[in-house]
Amino acid sequence: MRKRYLMTPGPTPVPAEVLLSMAEPIIHHRTPEFSSILMRTIEDLKYVFETKGDVLIFACSGTGAMESAVVNCFSPGDKVVVARNGKFGDRNFQLAKTYGLEVVDLKYEWTSTVNPDDIAAALRNDPDIKGVFVTQSETSSGVLNDVKAVGEIVRDYPNAILIVDSITGIGAVDCKTDEWSLDVVMTGSQKGLMLPPGLAAVSVSQKAWGHVEKSKLPKFYFDWTKAKKSLGKETTPFTPPVSLIIGLGKALSLIREEGLDNVIRRHSVLAEATRAGVVAMGLELFAPPEGRGNAVTPVWVPEGIDGGKIPRIMSDKYGVTIAGGQDEYKGRIFRLGHLGYFDRFDIITTLAALEMTLDELGYPVELGIGVAAALAVFEENPI
């Protein structure tokens, strides 16, 4: 018998009570019963997004929400800033290009944070800029970008909105949508929300609705105006993923029970313990100290070790699935996820499997050294 452990930053593990809630017989979506679940779930999403504005949901992965932001907020030829320092920032760039937007490209190394001063300079230099795209938690690199600082800049430009991919930020780090003036924020179900893949949520500020009114890009399924209008009637424009929304209701009730601040604190302690564990093994962290998120810990593959083998042995031999590097960092880094339904002993399990794997690959590691370092963090920071 081998137990399986899903230790990636998406999809993430799903609590048993959430899985069970989704196993109930399907109810029809045009019923008062479903409407009440839907509206309660939207309210709970507002709690997690820290907004009093609109939150819309769509049956799609996170990328669908990203695409919806482009087609709902802009018109062909609109000028936008895309600040990117990883694979998901690159996706914003590709989406903007796909829809014929003119992109002011702020491209950084994957090991750097986005510099808000560059965004301020771009906006100052060009009054035509209508939007700024930033990834809060870059899952490909573990880098956390300071979207609060960017919000303070963009809020002074009445013609520009700030669009934040917080797909692995929400539920893991602070993402204060209203307080930080984040106009559009999005997340996906298979990340911090502790659900299977298939659902995405997006918040829309009043300023962003102003853009939506002027937008000329074509849209149908992802039409925010239609979604908002339907929510006004306590329903959705098309058949919603009924089971996922019921599961989301359950997952959000777990988050409410724990309290959002405690959820974020738990993630911060798990991330700290993971970092302490890998550093104790003599490994090097990928993300810079000034910008490390709580969702995932990317680690450099040590010199002389075949990077592809680390996730493979961990999964095949120990049942622990972690993520490899993406794009140019494939085989050069590996990524340990700790997002959503994770507690202390998930970190201990991952670190123990990593030690055994490195040992097998001939990397000199004293078994238990990373585990001990993580335990020390947990002793100091009860969660």
Interface ranges with ligand PLP (CB under 6 A): 10, 61-63, 88, 135, 139, 165, 167-168, 188
The minimum distance between CB 183 and ligand PLP, in angstroms, equals 17
Block residue for tokens 């002793």: 379
Q: Could you give the CA distance from residue 185 to residue 177 in angstroms, rounded to a whole number?
A: 7
The minimum distance between CB 328 and ligand PLP, in angstroms, equals 17
User: What's the number of CA atoms in the CB half-sphere (13 Å) around residue 284?
Assistant: 9
CA 350-311-283 angle, 5° bins: 65
Q: Could you give the CA distance from residue 311 to residue 308 in angstroms, rounded to a whole number?
A: 6
Q: Are 151 and 182 in contact (CB under 8 A)?
A: yes
Q: Which is nearer to ligand PLP, 139 or 350 (CB)?
A: 139
Q: Could you give the CA distance from residue 298 to residue 278 in angstroms, rounded to a whole number?
A: 10
Which pair of structure tokens corresponds to residue 297? 């810990």
Query: Could you tell me how many residues make up the chain?
Result: 383
Residue nearest to ligand PLP as judged by C-beta position? 62
The minimum distance between CB 260 and ligand PLP, in angstroms, equals 19
Q: Which is nearer to ligand PLP, 88 or 222 (CB)?
A: 88
The sheet with strand 323-324 has its strands ordered as 296-300, 333-337, 323-324
Minimal CA–CA distance to 244: which of 8, 71, 21?
A: 21
Q: Are 81 and 119 in contact (CB under 8 A)?
A: yes
Q: Which is nearer to ligand PLP, 187 or 236 (CB)?
A: 187
Minimal CA–CA distance to 181: which of 164, 165, 195?
A: 164
The minimum distance between CB 58 and ligand PLP, in angstroms, equals 11
Beta strand residue intervals within the chain, DSSP E: 5-6, 54-58, 79-84, 102-107, 129-135, 137-138, 143-144, 161-165, 184-188, 200-204, 296-300, 320-321, 323-324, 333-337
Q: Could you give the CA distance from residue 302 to residue 88 in angstroms, rounded to a whole number?
A: 25
Q: Which is nearer to ligand PLP, 143 or 281 (CB)?
A: 143
What phi, psi does 246 have (nearest 5°)? -65, -40
Q: Which is nearer to ligand PLP, 185 or 242 (CB)?
A: 185
Report the chain's C-alpha Rg in angstroms. 21
Q: Are 167 and 146 in contact (CB under 8 A)?
A: no
The minimum distance between CB 339 and ligand PLP, in angstroms, equals 9
Q: Which is nearer to ligand PLP, 10 or 171 (CB)?
A: 10
Q: Could you give the CA distance from residue 196 to residue 11 in angstroms, rounded to a whole number?
A: 7
The minimum distance between CB 369 and ligand PLP, in angstroms, equals 30
Q: Which is nearer to ligand PLP, 63 or 253 (CB)?
A: 63
The minimum distance between CB 283 and ligand PLP, in angstroms, equals 23
- 3-state class of 257 per DSSP? helix
The minimum distance between CB 147 and ligand PLP, in angstroms, equals 12
Q: Which is nearer to ligand PLP, 263 or 281 (CB)?
A: 263
Q: Which is nearer to ligand PLP, 274 or 357 (CB)?
A: 274
To the nearest 10 degrees (0 to 180), the angle between helices 62-73 and 87-98 is 40
Q: Which is nearer to ligand PLP, 167 or 252 (CB)?
A: 167
The minimum distance between CB 367 and ligand PLP, in angstroms, equals 32
The minimum distance between CB 180 and ligand PLP, in angstroms, equals 18
